[in-house]
Every structure is written in structure tokens, then in C-alpha cells.
Amino acid sequence: MIKKEINEIKGLYDITECSIRKLAACYVDGEKNKVTTFTETFLNLKEEEQHKYLDIFKKTLSGTIGKNLFDMHFTNDAYIEGSSRELLIKLRDSGLEDEEALDEFYSRIIDSYDYVGNYLIILIQQAYDVPGVSSDGIEMDDASEEVFDYILCSICPVTLSKPGLAYDALDSTFHELEQAHMVDPTDTGFLFPAFNERSADEENILIYSKNANQLQDGVLSTLACEIPVPAKEQKATFQNIVTETLGDECNYDTIKNIHDNLNDYIDERKKDPEPALIDKDTAKKIMEKSGVSEEKLAGFEEKFEEATGGPGKTMLAANVCETRKFEVKTPDVVVKVNPDKTDLIETMLIEGKPCLVIHIDENLEVNGISVNPDTGEVFEN
């Protein structure tokens, strides 16, 4: 799914046009016991409660594609009898009214979800009448071609509120506030089926993870879908590829050039509907453009495939490159630079010693005090 398709589904969670049919939930304690389960017609809930739930559903479709949101393909295990994919289809087709299927789903999530503490498993079912789109991109509500019938799952930690004093409007004074079990924003969730090319794609499932670097592999294995590589791991993999490729050519200027060229590659694709990806060919072109020799790039494609897990594998460009900062670090000094100002730093031999040289303009501040960069004189406020 691309961002536009995700936002289209996310836009359904509006109180004025809400068409969610059913909501089913299971509250689980820290010992993995089902404390309670309930199923409600969503529109029968109080309006204040609907707003709170809609905020949770929006969160389940929020974040960056490739970091928090992953459109994943089901593995072969998803097509065997009794698979979780089969169970999801049963839940959707029953409108969340099959109690036995719901109980089985809750059990599978509880067995696979790695969390210490209480949490709430929420499911909703909705049938979305997908509007047709004219040739100039305008939606036409009266030209619907498909009903997108789907379920959304949100797994939310439940935490105990802090004790304290609270204002009571009835007697205009403060009293002790009783602690309450509060539902936090979604930690892990999914949309099934995926909404690819504005149509149901039962071969794929959209996964959400609040933590981009720590995915719930147990839940993903239970769902029998491919497990994405976390952002932090992608970055480490790319850094290893660069280090092994450069060898003795791994110097400041080359690394700076790779950083700059990666940022240029990301900027050039900002308007693309899909995020910028790095495959073996793209990575090699960036290395060539950054000044890496042909000798060092011999066999690069094979190294890339081996490091990333095989042919056709890609990494999200934003995951492997810092787009908000450029950092140079020694054991005692850390220098952070705006990514588009990397030319302000260079390396230089001074009295036979390798040094980092920082170009200074008319503005220099030391411990919050503005000083003259030429004389060291403190400027008047």
C-alpha cells in the first residue's frame, strides 16, 4: 500500500461519516488470562467513546512506510487448512459475529504477543464502498466499483493511571483521584486484507508497529506473513556493506559523499507515491557516484544480496541514511551538522596531525554566548 491508499482508509475514521459495523475486543491481564471479551455495534457506543476508539484506529494506520507500516506478503503457511489467514477471512465474512472464531483469534494473539502487562485486543469490521475516480483524479461517490470489506486489529497496552488529586466540579474542591486502567495508543496492529491499488488484496496484510526497531515477530509468525527487517537493522546492514566494500578506501570524504548522494536520491523521489528503496543496482550507482573505485566494487551485487538476504531484496533509503543530521564523532568530540551543510567540515593535516576543520561564518556561539569568530571578542547583546 502507498501512503495515499493508507490515508484513504484512515480517512474513514471520522465521526460524521463513520460506517464501522462491529467492534470486538478482549482484555488480557499480565498473566495472559482473558479478563473479559465483548462485541458491540459500533454506532451504539456513546459518541465520546467512539471518538476515543477512532483515535486508536487512526494510530494503527499512522507512521512511516517501511518503518512503522509494512505491506507484507503471506507465506505458504498461510494457505494451509486452519491458518490464521483462513481465520481472518472467517472473522471478516462473519462480521465479527462468530464467537468461536473470535475466541480462537484472541488465543493465538495472546500466545504470540510478547508483552509484560495488561493489554486490549480490538477488532473492527467495516465495508467501504470504494468511490470511483475520474481520469483527472476526482472521486465520484456515485461510481463505486467495489466494496472493500476488511478488519482492522489494534493491540493496545493498558496502564494504570497515576494517583493524585483531581478537581470535582460538583462541590468545587479537590479530592483523591482513583486509579484507572487506561488504554494506551496502539503498539501493534494490522489491516486485512491490504488495500492495494484501491482494491482488496488478500495475498497481503498491512502491519503496524509503534516501535520501528522492535517488531512483534511472534505475532507476525502467527499471521504467517513475511517478517520485515526493522529500520535499525537495515541501517546496520547497509553500514556493513559500505565498510566491507570500501576497505582501506573508507575515508571521511567518501563516506560524506555517500551520505550526500543518498540524501539527493531521497529528495529526488519525495513526490513519488512509493518510498525510495535501495536495491543492489541503486546502491552500486550511489557508490560509483561517491568516488568508490571499480576495483572495490567488483562483486558488489553479490555482497549486497548476501547481506540483505537474497536476490530482489531492498532497503528503505530513509532507514539507511540520516536525513536530519550529519554526525562526526571521535572518542572525545561529537560534531553534528545540518545534512545540506556537510561542506562546512573537512579533514586536513595540520602540523602533521589529521584534524577536522569546521568552517565558521559570522555567527559563533560558545556555551550560549555569541563571540566574534575572528577575535574571540564577546558581542554585546
Q: Would you state the cell numbers that stand for residue 271, as one nine-digit string? A: 513526490
pLDDT reading at 251 higher than 70: yes
Element (H, E) at 359: none
Q: How confident is the model at residue 126 (pLDDT cuts 50, 70, 90)?
A: very high
Please, which residues have CB within 8 angstroms of residue 377's CB and are 6 or more apart in sequence? 371
End-to-end CA gap in the chain: 53
Cα–Cα dist 359/339, whole Å: 15
Q: Please check the confidence at residue 162 and state whether its pLDDT lies above 60.
A: yes
* pLDDT tens profile 259-295: 999 999 999 988 888 888 999 999 999 999 999 999 9
pTM of the full predicted structure?
0.83
Please tell me the predicted confidence (pLDDT) of residue 194: 96
For residue 104, name the pLDDT band (cuts at 50, 70, 90). Answer: very high
Helices and strands of the chain, counted as H and E runs:
10, 22
The 10s digit of each residue's pLDDT in 71-91 is 999 999 999 999 999 999 999
For 257, phi then psi, to 5°, come to: -65, -40
Q: Residue 138: pLDDT band by 50, 70, 90 thresholds?
A: low
Q: How confident is the model at residue 229 (pLDDT cuts 50, 70, 90)?
A: confident
Q: What proportion of the chain, given as a percentage, has pLDDT over 90?
A: 55
pLDDT score, position 365: 80
What confidence tens digit (pLDDT) does each residue in 295-323 have?
A: 999 889 998 999 988 888 898 998 888 87
CA angle 280–285–289, rounded 5-degree value = 150
Q: Return mean pLDDT, the chain.
A: 89
